[in-house]
Amino acid sequence: MQYHVIDVFTDKLFSGNPAGVCMLDMWLPDETLQGIATENNLSETAFLVKQNNYYDLRWFTPELEVDLCGHATIASAYVLFDDIENAADVIKFKTKSGIMAVTREDELLYLDFPSRPVTPCTIYPAFERAFGIKPIAAYKAVDFLVLVDSEQILRNIKPDFSILRQIKTEAGLNSDSFGIIVTAKGSEYDFVSRFFAPNAGIDEDPVTGRAYCSLVPFWNEKLDRKVMTARQLSKRGGVLYCEDHGSRVKIGGKVVRYLKGNIQLS
């Protein structure tokens, strides 16, 4: 089985968000896919099977399957553009969240993802206890979005993940497939963010494409700016080029290949 590791939302190795990409001839049992993702131990591993004019695509964290993942979708498209679909400018994927497309535009690969606007929600006590700060406001779509006062405050957050996991109980959630976006207005960039998903086996994700399904409409409303640049302030860090198109968002980034090899299943 072909296996690739691609660093996404960066133009240099060892930064951005690494995603595993596995090319399959046919679907393997779910427990095998989960086993591979757990063994790889990246925030997401993508699995692809070629159909007629599109590719079936699924994403797994080290602990579970998720319904949407940005960086592993861009990584999958990069592998296809580079190794298989050399003449194409658009790759289409069929996923649990519908048909997704990635477009190649010069040095950038752009996701076309559904917009997920947030609505206000309770500032749960676990947010303040876990982050050691009082948020300005809290919101929710699929993921939580927590607004803080400044970029510096966001940089300095050192979450207590044992407390952060309690959000599931406080909010009465049944699924572990959610994250907590923390965001602030940026200084060099339009906005900045960090993303935590300890219930899904990812304490802090380096760069999180799916988060921008909510961040882009949120900051467009606040800044009155449909085209924005953003930075995710993880240790590895990453830069994203964002556009708000109403019911859809475009999320672009640069990509670097780290590894190409084979997985042996005996």
Residue 118 CB partners (closer than 8 Å, separation 6+): 139, 140, 141, 145, 214, 217, 218
User: In this structure, is the dihedral angle defined by the CA atoms of residues 170, 172, 174 and 180, taken in order, positive or negative?
Assistant: negative
Closest C-alpha among 247, 186, 214, 210 to residue 118 = 214
Closest C-alpha among 56, 50, 45, 44 to residue 93 = 56
DSSP string, 161-192: HHHHTTHHHHHT---S---EEEEEE-SSSSEE
In angstroms, rounded to a whole number, what is the distance separating the alpha carbons of residues 153 and 141? 23
Q: Is 1 helix (H, G, I), strand (E, B) or coil?
A: coil
How many C-beta atoms lie closer than 10 Å to residue 227's C-beta? 12
Determine which one of 31, 39, 44, 65 is catalytic. Answer: 44
Closest C-alpha among 227, 245, 228, 226 to residue 186 = 228
Percentages helix, strand, coil for the chain (3-state, rounded to 5) are: 25, 40, 35
Active site residue 65: no
User: Which residues carry out catalysis?
Assistant: 44
